[in-house]
Amino acid sequence: MIRLRSLLIVLIVCGGIYVGSKVAPAYYTYYRFQSDLEQAGMAESYSTRSEAEIQESVAARGRDYGIPLKLDQIRVRRTGDELSISAEYTIHFDLPIYPFDLRFAPATKNRRL
């Protein structure tokens, strides 16, 4: 009984490490992209670039991180002194027992001073 319990604990820990090694890079990329998006939002709130140009810029930044972003997944709204940028994307994980999708939605909202 003790050996069975020990084996079960080892299997659970190994499974957790395996799943974590697959999922952690996606979260790390999301946080890096979110940070980059916030910096871009601050810079773009003072620029005169159009919403379409900002969309293309965000899509290019996403490609730099390996994020599969299309232009229709990126929303840019400029209203007065405010600029908001948001994106939504899904990453699929094919795990042996339980394949699943994770949805990420980085966004930023900036106002000129």
Residue 31 confidence (pLDDT): 96
- pLDDT, tens digit, for every residue of 50-88? 899 999 999 999 999 999 899 999 999 998 889 999 999
Residue 2 confidence (pLDDT): 83
Percent of the chain with pLDDT over 90: 70
Residue type at position 87: A
The domain limits of the chain are 23-111
Distances, alpha carbon 69 to alpha carbons 14, 38, 107, in Å = 32, 17, 14
Distances, alpha carbon 110 to alpha carbons 80, 87, 99, in Å = 11, 15, 37
